[in-house]
Amino acid sequence: MVFIQMLQLMRQLHERNYIHRDIKPDNFLFGYNNRSNQIFAVDFGLAKKYRTHEGHIPFTKKTVLTGTARYASHNAHKGYELSRRDELQAVGLMILNFVIGSLPWDEIYSSDYTQLFSTIGKMKELEEVLKICEPLPP
Start-to-end CA span in the chain (Å): 20
Catalytic residue numbers read: 22
Task: Tell me the C-alpha distance between 35 and 5, whole Å.
Answer: 13
* Exposure on the CB side of residue 54, measured as CA atoms within 13 A: 3
User: Which stretches does DSSP call E strand in the chain?
Assistant: 18-19, 28-30, 39-41, 48-49, 51-52, 55-56
